[in-house]
């Protein structure tokens, strides 16, 4: 074993004790003098700084996830106070979801120009401004503009590729776990803010809820600006479990080359189905569906929070599993189980049944994220993973937007959500089958050949 100049333990994998060497490689040693010189004041000296970046980024993702919970949480109060219909308000939610997805490819471009930290801080402040103007709107067009386009795009710049970029820049080992942590932070944001915004809207109105959300977004921007760094080289370190290397930008002409690969379209299609069945269908319409089945609005929000709690657990476990098992098989299991769960939702009318659904669906809600990011990195290269995942995430949000609006239309035409949830179950099972067709590169082939 030999110590590296970046605060890691390197290993000679040709030695007889290669297996033991690989384990030791995962443990960072205290930072070197050069690294300490680059660290922010009060930063822990004996902890790999990437974990600090993960912590700050997780808070930002939690806040944007909480802000994305507002359409479903405020829907009932907005209908009651404004007189706008479910389908009319769902258009705003759909615009927001589309812009949220569009933030993925745009974020990759902006990050390459101004850096990860500046992009994150700017996005948090832009989301706060959009929330303030959304709270003061009196017309549909201005609500579509500020909440749909403004808040949706600002949140998408953070939530779409931040986790994938941090995981692939700062970590070689534990990447699956880190992406699981970011997925779990989305669940935590839902867990904390969905019942918070629902209760606040019930007591103080949806406008006050958005104003308080804006204040929280501004507060979040402060530690982000102070502690976040773009890459390990900024603090004199190497990626966790890797060797010192400069930050490598995405390949030129990446999109043109990626769309020629069947792996890209399989990843985009399956993740689009994830958006259809999670954020678009259950995330936007679960409370409205539950109230039609006799549940109180706050009770339904609490069950959605339970779903978020188990989503937190499920996504962490999914990250751990992704480091150990074939991500394609994991996706097959996740999508198939989700489809079966959705078939049962229309016949649920009691607390026991809705509780069981909340737990089981919650475990699977965004468990698809870690294996999807891992497959993006394997197929297109670690330095391209954030950009490619941004495009795949855009497909996810397009699916969510179509589903958010389409489910509302089906509900108004058919009188309930039965056909919407049944259709979601069918396409989820189909997505699981498609996931098994994604090809993984062999060790002897290039990761991304032109």
Q: Per-residue b/e over 342-377, b at no fewer than 16 CB within 10 Å? A: beebbebeeeeebeebbbbbbbbbbbbbbbbbbbbb
Name the 3-class secondary structure at 230. Answer: coil
Local confidence band at 442 (pLDDT 50, 70, 90 cut-offs): low
Span 72-86, mean pLDDT? 73
Task: State the CB neighbour count (10 A cutoff) for residue 447.
Answer: 13
Q: Is residue 446 part of a domain?
A: no
Task: State the CB neighbour count (10 A cutoff) for residue 449.
Answer: 8
User: Is pLDDT above 90 for 371?
Assistant: yes
Phi, psi of 9 (to 5 degrees): -110, 120
Q: CA 91, 92, 97, 103 torsion: positive or negative?
A: positive
Task: State the CB neighbour count (10 A cutoff) for residue 1.
Answer: 12
DSSP letter assigned to residue 383? G
Q: Domain range spanning residue 342?
A: 45-435
Q: Is residue 450 part of a domain?
A: no
Summary mean pLDDT of the chain? 80
User: Is pLDDT above 90 for 274?
Assistant: yes
Span 310-328, mean pLDDT? 88
Two structure tokens written together for 218: 């501004």
Whose tokens are 């808040």? That residue is 151
Which of the pair, 187 or 158, is modelled with greater confidence? 158
Q: Is residue 449 part of a domain?
A: no
pLDDT at res. 152: 84
Phi, psi of 10 (to 5 degrees): -90, 165
With contact defined as beta carbons under 8 Å apart, do 222 and 120 qualify?
A: no
Please give the Cα distance from 407 to 278 (Å, whole number): 12
pLDDT at res. 431: 96
Q: Is residue 37 part of a domain?
A: no
Q: Is residue 326 part of a domain?
A: yes
Give the burial class of 16: count Cβ atoms within 10 A of its Cβ; 0-12 exposed, 13-18 middle, 19 or more buried.
Answer: exposed
Span 53-57, mean pLDDT? 92
pLDDT at res. 22: 40
Which segment, 242-246, 395-399, 434-438, is predicted with the most confidence on average?
434-438
Closest-CA residue to 367 (of 337, 395, 397, 388): 337
DSSP letter assigned to residue 2? E
Local confidence band at 25 (pLDDT 50, 70, 90 cut-offs): very low
User: Is pLDDT above 70 for 122?
Assistant: yes
Query: Cα–Cα–Cα angle for 330, 332, 335, nearest 5°?
Result: 105
Ranges 99-103, 134-138, 242-246, 378-382: which has the least confidence: 242-246
Q: Is residue 4 part of a domain?
A: no
Report pTM: 0.69
Q: Give the count of domains, the chain.
A: 1
User: Is pLDDT above 60 for 193?
Assistant: yes
Please give the Cα distance from 248 to 268 (Å, whole number): 24
Q: Is residue 392 part of a domain?
A: yes
Closest-CA residue to 203 (of 74, 306, 290): 74
Please give the Cα distance from 440 to 175 (Å, whole number): 17
Which segment, 145-154, 333-342, 365-374, is predicted with the most confidence on average?
333-342
CATH code where residue 341 lies: 1.20.1250.20
Q: Is residue 6 part of a domain?
A: no
């Amino acid at each position: 074993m030999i110590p590296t100049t970046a605060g890691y333990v390197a290993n000679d994998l040709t030695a007889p004790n290669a297996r033991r060497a690989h384990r030791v490689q995962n443990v960072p040693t205290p930072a070197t003098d050069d690294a300490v010189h680059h660290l922010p004041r009060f930063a822990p000296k004996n902890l790999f700084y990437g974990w600090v970046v993960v912590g700050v980024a997780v808070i930002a993702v939690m806040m944007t996830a909480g802000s994305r919970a507002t359409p479903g949480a405020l829907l009932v109060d907005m209908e009651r106070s404004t007189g706008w219909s479910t389908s009319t308000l769902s258009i705003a939610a759909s615009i927001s979801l589309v812009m949220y997805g569009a933030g993925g490819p745009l974020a990759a471009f902006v990050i390459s120009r101004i850096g990860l930290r500046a992009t994150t801080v700017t996005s948090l402040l832009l989301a706060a401004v959009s929330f303030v103007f959304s709270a003061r709107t009196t017309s549909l067009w201005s609500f579509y503009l500020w909440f749909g386009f403004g808040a949706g795009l600002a949140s998408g710049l953070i939530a779409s590729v931040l986790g994938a970029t941090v995981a692939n820049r700062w970590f070689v080992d534990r990447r699956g776990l880190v992406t699981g942590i970011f997925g779990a932070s989305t669940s935590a944001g839902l867990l904390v803010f969905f019942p918070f915004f629902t209760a606040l809207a019930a007591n103080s109105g949806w406008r006050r809820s958005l104003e308080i959300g804006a204040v929280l977004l501004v507060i979040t921007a402060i530690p982000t600006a102070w502690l976040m760094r773009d890459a390990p080289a900024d603090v004199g370190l190497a990626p966790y479990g890797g060797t010192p290397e400069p930050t490598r930008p995405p390949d030129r002409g990446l999109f043109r080359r990626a769309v020629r690969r069947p792996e890209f379209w399989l990843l985009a299609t399956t993740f689009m189905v994830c958006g259809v069945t999670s954020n678009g269908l259950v995330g936007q319409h679960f409370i409205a569906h539950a109230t039609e089945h006799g549940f109180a609005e706050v009770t339904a929000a609490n069950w959605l929070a339970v779903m978020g709690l188990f989503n937190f657990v499920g996504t962490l476990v999914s990250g751990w599993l992704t480091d150990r098992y074939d991500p394609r098989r994991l996706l097959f299991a996740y999508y198939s189980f989700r489809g079966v769960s959705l078939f049962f939702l229309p016949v649920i009318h009691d607390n026991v049944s809705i509780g069981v659904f909340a737990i089981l669906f919650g475990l699977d809600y965004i468990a698809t994220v870690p294996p999807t990011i891992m497959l993006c990195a394997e197929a297109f290269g670690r330095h391209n993973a954030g950009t490619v995942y941004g495009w795949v995430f855009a497909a996810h949000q397009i699916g969510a937007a179509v589903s958010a609006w389409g489910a509302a239309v089906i509900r108004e035409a058919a009188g309930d959500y039965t056909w919407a949830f049944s259709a979601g179950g069918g396409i989820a099972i189909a997505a699981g089958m498609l996931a098994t067709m994604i090809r993984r590169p062999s060790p002897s082939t290039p990761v991304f050949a032109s």
